[in-house]
Every structure is written in structure tokens, then in C-alpha cells.
Amino acid sequence: MDGHSTPTDHRGLTVLGLGECLDRIRGVRVGRLAFVHDGDLVVLPVNHGVDGQDVVFRTTWGSKLQHAQQAGLVAFEFDDFDEATGLGWSVLVSGVAETVYDDHEIARLEDLGVRSWAGALDPLFWVRVRAEQVTGREITRQ
């Protein structure tokens, strides 16, 4: 008990607030998108952007990622750990994935600077994960 009021969870990990979670997500280039596809759990690394409280990414027709927006509920995990010390943080965004069709919205997302995934072929389209829950934890000591 060191007297300050940083919230911790039952494991003693520091709980990150929403704003802090979004800042952390903006600071990394790759997240891991999880969804259920034909009864299988799929987890894929994806380049992402942050738009308000939502996470956005680009994909192409026929890819596994396309199924994410058909799957409905998805989870998007982000983290960064120091291999030497084991210290780091993780954030989990849960929500519903949906394709972006609005031209103005697409133009705005194009300005986010999200890297195209290797091997991605045109036409690319944008998918928005409308965040329903955002939770984050930080390991500040072992």
C-alpha cells in the first residue's frame, strides 16, 4: 500500500483508463483481431488505426479478414512487452465489426496513415470495430 490511488485488478495489475487505452493502441502498428469463422477461432495480426473510440482496418474481398465483419462480434488485442523485463501492457477492444460504405468517412479514414497489409490486393475496403468494451492492464513490476 503506497498511498496513491492507481486502480489495480485482483492480480495487482494497473488498470488503464479509456483514454490511456486508446493512446496505447495508437502507439503500436499491429494488433491481433480475433473472431469465430465457421466454428473456428481465428486470430490474425492486423494493421489498424484509431477513429474516435473505434478501431479501423483495411481488408480485401475474399480474405479471412472479410469474415470478421460477417462474424459480428470480434475482439481486437493490442500489447507491448519488454522481452527482458517482462513488463508491459495490453488492451482488449470488444465490439461489432462493420464495413464502412460512406465516401466521406472513407476519405477521412484514408488520412489516418494505416499501412496496407502485405499482399493486400485492391479493392481494399475499410472495416470499423465499433467498440462496446475497452479494457487495459499494465504490468509495472514483477
DSSP state for residue 8 in the 8-state scheme: B
Q: Does 36 bind a copy of itself (CB under 8 A)?
A: yes
Stretch that binds a copy of itself, among 16-24, 48-56, 100-108, 114-122 (CB under 8 A): 114-122
Q: Does 23 bind a copy of itself (CB under 8 A)?
A: no
Q: How many CB atoms lie within 10 A of CB 48?
A: 26
Candidates 95, 92, 113, 106; CA nearest to 50 is: 113
Q: Does 105 bind a copy of itself (CB under 8 A)?
A: no
Identified binder of a copy of itself from the candidate list 77, 96, 125, 130, rule CB under 8 A:
77
Stretch that binds a copy of itself, among 39-47, 50-58, 99-107, 122-130 (CB under 8 A): 39-47
Identified binder of a copy of itself from the candidate list 6, 18, 70, 121, rule CB under 8 A:
121
Answer yes or no: are the C-beta atoms of 97 and 128 closer than 8 Å. Answer: yes
Please name the residue that has the C-alpha cell 469474415: 67
Q: Does 124 bind a copy of itself (CB under 8 A)?
A: no
Largest CA distance in the chain: 55
Q: Does 119 bind a copy of itself (CB under 8 A)?
A: yes
Between the CA atoms of 36, 41, 44 and 50, what dihedral angle is there, to the nearest 10 degrees? 40
Answer yes or no: are the C-beta atoms of 85 and 141 closer than 8 Å. Answer: no
Q: Does 112 bind a copy of itself (CB under 8 A)?
A: no
Answer yes or no: are the C-beta atoms of 137 and 17 closer than 8 Å. Answer: no
Residue 3 or 12 having the CB closest to a copy of itself: 12
Identified binder of a copy of itself from the candidate list 19, 86, 106, 110, rule CB under 8 A:
86
